[in-house]
Amino acid sequence: MELSVDQVAQLIGGRVEGNGNEQVSRLEKIEEATKGSIAFLANPKYTEYIYTTEASAIIVSNDLEPSREIKSALIRVEDPYTAFSKLLEEYEKLIKPVKTGIEEPSYQSKSSTYGENVYLGAFSHLGDNVKLGNNVQIYPNTVVGDNVVIGDNTILYSGVKVYANCRIGASCVIHSGVVIGSDGFGYAPQKDGTFKAVPQIGNVIIEDHVDIGANTVVDCATMGSTVISSGAKLDNLVQIAHNVEIGRNSAIAAQAGISGSAKIGENCQIGGQAGITGHLSLANRITIGPQAGVPKTIEEEGGVYFGSPSMDHKDFLRMSIALRKLPDLVRRVNELEKNS
């Protein structure tokens, strides 16, 4: 891809300062960029690099005020990160052509149906009554169980397993190793100390524009549905238990676990390795910090919680400061007791 800086600005809705005729052909990080490349500045801690980078152009915020001369052309936009993401999308289309067609060997049940421009990779398997929309891509070694429905433009990368009766919406991206619809962790303790498995007869419903990272597991419901709502983003290695509901546009980072029947509101953010207890609810726009443990329902919207058990982040910060003072306090108490 070779474009002028002016063409790039037009593509992302930006305004050029500097040489708009300069040609760019690569996307690079600002701290490593070389001539002929384009970079972006979104994180303030990288600001110093705009004065030293060799990039031919830099995507920056409209309100950036340089403290000294910048060699590169600037493309000013409202949100540099979003603008650069759009540029990456266009670049990806060039380096990753959309695959179509059916590779062999692969298996499609005679009762399965699929729309136009579908890609079915080698050793993929479509069970009975599977329905695929247009432009669906099923990469090699992926298994789609009986009665599964997948919407238009959804991608399932290699090694994904979708159990029977699940529903996946349009424009979703499911990365390698994801398991959708496996049994929830349901066991009934017996008098003799053993556990009897409770049949898990529900399914998983994944709505539109959901991304699920590699090796994440979404369990089916005991009855009814486990639901991942539109726009939700799950990182790698996330565990979603049976009957969980994830609200629209919520994001969950790696190694977090959501226990059975928990309900996560809309636009929530859950940090890595956080744990959410079962059968509770989080209101909309809740932020849960990394490694936090949430033991009870949070009803007030917009809060930020850290620690285990979780607490308001301001209380957590005060407690952390007090904890750092604890060794000195213990020493002083010991000295007072010795001298008393």
Judge if 188 and 301 occupy the same domain: yes
How far apart CA 90 and CA 80 sit, in angstroms, is 16
Residue 157 near residue 180, CB atoms below 8 Å: no
pLDDT value of position 1:
67
How are the residues of the chain apportioned to helix, strand and coil, as percentages rounded to the nearest 5? 15, 30, 55
Predicted TM-score (pTM) of this structure: 0.87
175, 242, 279, 313: the active-site residue = 242
Would 122 be classed as within a structural domain? no
Judge if 290 and 169 occupy the same domain: yes
Judge if 91 and 164 occupy the same domain: no
Last residue of a domain, one of 72, 95, 118: 95
Residue 246 near residue 267, CB atoms below 8 Å: no
How far apart CA 90 and CA 24 sit, in angstroms, is 14
Judge if 166 and 302 occupy the same domain: yes
pLDDT value of position 337:
87
* Residue 201 C-alpha from the chain's centroid: 27
User: How crowded is the C-beta side of 222, counted as CA atoms within 13 Å?
Assistant: 10
Would 228 be classed as within a structural domain? yes
Q: What is the pLDDT along the chain (340 residues), one digit of tens a residue?
A: 689 999 999 999 999 999 999 999 999 999 999 999 999 999 999 999 999 999 999 999 999 999 999 999 999 999 999 999 998 888 887 777 788 999 999 999 999 999 999 999 999 999 999 999 999 999 999 999 999 999 999 999 999 999 999 999 999 999 999 999 999 999 999 999 999 999 999 999 999 999 999 999 999 999 999 999 999 999 999 999 999 999 999 999 999 999 999 999 999 999 999 999 999 999 999 999 999 999 999 999 999 999 999 999 999 999 889 889 889 888 988 888 888 7
Would 335 be classed as within a structural domain? no
Would 79 be classed as within a structural domain? yes
pLDDT value of position 88:
87
Would 326 be classed as within a structural domain? no
pLDDT value of position 146:
98
How far apart, in Å, do the first and last CA atoms of the chain sit?
80
Last residue of a domain, one of 78, 95, 112: 95
The three-state secondary structure class of 162 is: strand
Structure tokens at 332: 């002083």
Judge if 297 and 173 occupy the same domain: yes
pLDDT value of position 54:
95
Domain containing residue 221: CATH number: 2.160.10.10
pLDDT value of position 106:
96
Last residue of a domain, one of 67, 95, 123: 95
CA nearest 118: which of 106, 131, 97, 134? 134
pLDDT value of position 43:
92
Would 128 be classed as within a structural domain? no
Judge if 77 and 204 occupy the same domain: no
pLDDT value of position 292:
97
Domain containing residue 66: CATH number: 3.40.1390.10
Judge if 302 and 188 occupy the same domain: yes
How far apart CA 206 and CA 194 sit, in angstroms, is 34
What's the pLDDT tens digit per position in 233-263? 999 999 999 999 999 999 999 999 999 999 9
DSSP-assigned beta bridge partners for residue 256: none
Would 56 be classed as within a structural domain? yes
Please report where in the chains the tokens 């049994």 appear, as a residue: 183
Range of the domain at 251: 160-309
Residue 214 near residue 177, CB atoms below 8 Å: yes
Would 149 be classed as within a structural domain? no
What's the pLDDT tens digit per position in 31-41? 999 999 999 99
- Known active-site residue 175: no
pLDDT value of position 117:
96
Structural domain total, the chain: 2
